[in-house]
Amino acid sequence: MAEEIPRGTEDKLKELEKKEQAVARTLDKGVWYVVSSALAVIMVFFYLYNTGVSPFAAQYHRGIYVLITFVLVFLFYPATSQSRQDRPTVPDIGLALVAAFVVGYWIHQFEALNYRMGAETQTDFYISIIGVVISLEVARRVLGNALPIVGLAFLIYCYVGPYMPDAIAHRGFSVDRIMTHVYLKQEGVFGIMANVLVTYVILFIFFGSFLKKSGAGQFFLDLPMSLFGHRIGGPAKVSVIASGFFGSVSGSAIANTATTGTFTIPLMIKSGFKRHVAGGIEPAASVGGMFMPPIMGAGGFLMAELTNTPYVTIMKMAIFPAILYFVSVLIMVHFEAKRHGLYGERDPDAPTATDILKKEWFMVLPLVIIVVLMLIGYSPGYSAVLATASCVVVSWLTKDKRMGPREVYDALLGGAKATLVIGATVGVIGIIVGSIALTGIGLRFSDMIFSLSGGFMPLAILLIAIASLVLGMGVPVTASYLIVAVLAVPAMSSMMAQHHYGVPGIATLDAATTTWVLVASHMIIYWFSQNSNNTPPVCLAAYTGAAIAGSDPWKTGWTALNFSKVLYVVPFLFAYSPALLLNAEPYQIVMTYLTCFLGVIAFSTISMGYFLCPTNIPEWLVGCLGTVLLLFPRLLPGLTGIEVPVRIVDIVAIGLFVLVYIMQKARIKLDPTLTLPLEERRRLKKEARAKAMA
């Protein structure tokens, strides 16, 4: 299969990696290898002990991670591409020491800073300036210029508020007030992002590193391959299912595409998929991993913190929408393969699904353990610690994948290094969130959404989608989600409260309803935050798939968008279907799940223009109406003013698809070639024309 991967793929992947984040130094020998490895191992053990055995005070809980992350970034990431790649330079070492000092100052002075809040000293001010500069430089080295520029823009906005247009003007703040607020106070660098990272996210990153090292990764590829590899569109379906497993653990659609894509994309090409289609399907599937519990990347934990909702509740709410996403991609893949007659190959020597399960069923235990522990009431962090330990135990149930001291050490290092990419955002995100809190721009931004949308919720949702897409082109998706959430959730939650309950805000709602409104608002923004992965012009996950497939990046990007377009549909369901996020009676939840499931299948069918055979215009129009009624059953009564029970609307919608089925059956009876692969039909038509001319 190696011959299917074009030459130069590794170089293209490295180039894309540079666009998303800088390529780290290796540091595989010498004194700096010892120093960096020691710091990485200390980080992992500190947080495993902090969560699993005995918690430390808040300043150590947050500060140690920021300190070690900043130091490791300066050791691992060069200042420019022309800097030394084999070891840190003297300025790198100097900056690492400065970073350790300014973060150490915050840790040491934590209690004193709380006592003198609002009366900070000149030393506090100077430390804050250095800390802000260090935070910006850390983000620049790892993630490029875009995120630091956004952070600088917010700092400048804090100062020049009186000179801004009236819509976003504020009274302005002095430099010392700005710097001490965003660096020293709980809303800044050591605020919500740092807290969520050390409480949840890095522990799940450690878990992902151990899970891969235990050999579970190969199991998650082998099992779907045995189940679907030989069926219609088999390799593409394997890509979708494997990406669901990997994406939830990896926390990055781009990393997921690069990991599973090197295996699945060549398989798709070999089975007959065009290169740009194979390169587009993999990132479309990889994005779904960001929505799939139990981990959901970093966004799910941020959502839990921002909404003050237990993560297990977020997980329960997220599971069915995530399934809807993967069902949609699977249906689209199925019809794409059916249109072209593409089947996978059955290897007679390959083990069956039964063989794989008999031999390695225990590979799923770490994921089962983490889910069960959270469901019975343990914290996500503690569950991750125990599941991480279970990875080592599980690996010993195999002969060739046992994790000895070396493998455990590699997993420790790999997990610590993997946290640096998201850890590099912590300082700038703190600067941005602190600036928003200081200036009150969040409420003004909400007013702008109200005024631009005229209070019309679909238009407000569309504006949020555009804001997420534009911001996501330059900053990581987690950062994009957090920034837009802080700015837009007040507007979104107010609109939803008005639409569903007739009140202008959430203040008068009961606790359960308030939770639903807040989580639904965040879910809308979180789903949209992923759109920049696959939506041109800047779509690095799709470009990663293109690099592996050797296809045109632009064409691959549009193809990835085509297969992931339900990403733009489900957020509207969050806004208009409370039962989708469990805010209803059990019967209503079941019925909503059923109609949404059918609606997503209908949407995927119609959007691909294929059912039993390619759809013509009348069939497509009838199917579109049926899809809209299934997904939004209250739309028709709302437009017509005629009260129609939802069940009647659902029956009408299903009846419309029965009508499409009958129409297609009739067409196929008249022309049986309609069910043939597209290329075969074209060949037959060409032969018929040649025969007629003869």
146 exposure class (CB count in 10 Å sphere: 0-12, 13-18, 19+): middle
**pLDDT exceeds 90 at position 535:** no
pLDDT tens per residue across span 37-79 = 999 999 999 999 999 888 999 899 999 999 999 999 999 999 8
Task: Say how far apart CA 391 and CA 363 lie, in whole Å.
Answer: 8
DSSP per-residue letters across 122-188: HHHHHHHHHHHHHHHHHHHHHH-SHHHHHHHHHHHHHHSGGGS-GGG------HHHHHHHHHHSTTT
**95 versus 473: which is more confidently predicted?**
95
Task: Say how far apart CA 264 and CA 654 lie, in whole Å.
Answer: 35
pLDDT on residue 1: 40
Task: Say how far apart CA 582 and CA 592 lie, in whole Å.
Answer: 10
Task: Say how far apart CA 44 and CA 586 lie, in whole Å.
Answer: 42
State the pTM of this model.
0.89
**pLDDT exceeds 90 at position 181:** yes
pLDDT tens per residue across span 582-617 = 998 999 999 999 999 999 999 999 999 999 999 999
Q: What residues contact 623, with CB distance under 8 A and at least 6 apart?
A: 602, 605, 606, 611, 615, 656, 657, 660
Q: Which residues pair with 610 in a beta bridge?
A: 614
**399 versus 375: which is more confidently predicted?**
375
Identify the H or E element spanning 185: none
Task: Say how far apart CA 646 and CA 575 lie, in whole Å.
Answer: 17
The alpha carbon dihedral of 668, 670, 676, 679 has a sign of negative
What's phi and psi for 614, nearest 5 deg?
-55, 140
pLDDT on residue 428: 93
**pLDDT exceeds 70 at position 639:** no
For residue 612, give Cα distances in angstroms to 495, 646, 672: 41, 28, 11
Q: What residues contact 369, with CB distance under 8 A and at least 6 apart?
A: 383, 386, 387, 390
pLDDT on residue 27: 79
Residue 9's pLDDT band (cuts 50, 70, 90): low
Give the distance, in angstroms, between the CA of residue 494 and the centroid of all CA atoms in the same chain. 25
Task: Say how far apart CA 694 and CA 323 lie, in whole Å.
Answer: 54
Q: Which residues pair with 232 in a beta bridge?
A: 343
Sole residue written with tokens 């043939």: 676
Q: Is residue 537 reached through a cis peptide bond, with omega within 30 degrees of 0 on the bond before it? A: yes
Q: Is 146 helix (H, G, I), strand (E, B) or coil?
A: helix
pLDDT on residue 5: 55
pLDDT tens per residue across span 560-582 = 999 999 999 999 999 999 999 99
The mean pLDDT of 282-293, rounded to a whole number, is 88
**pLDDT exceeds 50 at position 538:** yes
pLDDT on residue 17: 56
**pLDDT exceeds 70 at position 10:** no
574, 520 in Cβ contact below 8 A?
Answer: yes
The mean pLDDT of 537-547, rounded to a whole number, is 85
Which of 256-270, 360-374, 609-623 is predicted least confidently?
256-270
**pLDDT exceeds 60 at position 4:** no
Residue 8's pLDDT band (cuts 50, 70, 90): low
pLDDT on residue 430: 93
pLDDT on residue 248: 66
Alpha helices in 440-578 (DSSP H): 441-453, 457-472, 477-501, 511-529, 540-549, 553-563, 570-576
**pLDDT exceeds 80 at position 307:** yes
Q: Is residue 266 reached through a cis peptide bond, with omega within 30 degrees of 0 on the bond before it? A: no
